[in-house]
Amino acid sequence: MIIIGFTGRNAAGKTTATKYLTEKGFYYKSLSDVIREEAKKRGMESTRENLIAIGNELREKHGVAALSELTLQRMESGKNYVVDSIRHPAEALALKAAGNFSLFHIFAPVEKRFKRTLERQRVGDPQTLQEFIRLEEKEFQSSNVAAQQLLECERMSNRMIENNGELERFQKELDAALKELEVSFSRPSWDEYFMGIAKQVAVRSNCMKRQVAAIIAKDKRIISTGYNGTPRSVKNCNEGGCPRCNNFAESGKALEECLCSHGEENAIVQAAYHGISVKGATIYSTFSPCLLCSKMIINSGLTRVVYNEAYPLNDTALKMLREAGIEIAKSKI
């Protein structure tokens, strides 16, 4: 996830910048939206002074990074975001901790910004330059740690982008800033990737005792999946299909009465059912394989086993797998 943050003084062009980036595929979030929602709940007008006061109050009550933290909760992994209205250093630091974050300071001269304020005609905006400057100075810095610290945000920005009037020039400056982003993704290893998928497959299990799943992968692609449960066309375990599981039998006891197939077993059988060879592949299981599944792993030609949790009473199975030359690894996730 890439997050671009905008900080800057009133009417500098942050809204114009966010609109430009949304055209490039970024999703838009504003820290001020959290404050506006709170103002609406209180029946207050969204004037600039009201928003400043409510924002300071939220930081005092919930922590100086509260606005960023609430905004991050509304973001989805895999998407890139542009965030404006960053007015406190803690807000920027919270966003930085969440992913690849860059903070841009949008700058424009005070006279030009005041002119833009008059043109947009928002409720509560100052009508004189002196009033505009007075209100702005309240945002610069404060002895109150929860109050806006705009000057500090400007100082910690990665880049200043000037917006002095020409839209095309401003957009070129934004493009240049995007090209210079330092982005690094924390990608899972292939073992972590496939084990994560196996854990999701386990959610499909209908077994009353435990939900287990396995996937078989070869050449970095999945060729089969399986989860534990009763055989095809037999009543699901959670619907009473397996008396042993529904009686919550003691682990390792009455296994000959269990009607459920294991995740590894189903993954291997499904591959055979569809005519897919698993020779030379790796099986990823959310539990280490039992003795029966270990025999199937060896005879089906699988060469590597990665498991997440140790299955009870499986010392003999693991010993046999090693004797057969099967590589065994325990997952780190």
By annotation, the residues acting in catalysis are 264
Q: How far apart are CA 57 and CA 90, in angstroms?
A: 15
**Both tokens of residue 289?**
């394989």
Task: Let me know: does 102 contact 5? Beta carbons within 8 Å.
Answer: yes
Backbone torsions φ then ψ of 257, nearest 5 degrees: -100, -5
Q: How far apart are CA 14 and CA 141, in angstroms?
A: 20
**Strand arrangement, sheet containing 213-218:** 221-227, 213-218, 282-287, 304-309, 327-330
- Residue 10: which of 93, 161, 115 has the closest Cα? 115
3-state secondary structure of 30: strand
DSSP class of 185: -
Q: How far apart are CA 4 and CA 37, in angstroms?
A: 23
Backbone torsions φ then ψ of 256, nearest 5 degrees: -70, -15
106's CB contacts (< 8 A; 6+ apart) are 6, 7, 8, 12, 13, 14, 17, 160, 161, 163
Q: How far apart are CA 268 and CA 285, in angstroms?
A: 12
**CA–CA distances in Å: residue 83 to residues 2, 154, 278:** 11, 15, 47
Q: How far apart are CA 164 and CA 158, in angstroms?
A: 19
**Both tokens of residue 184?**
């690094």
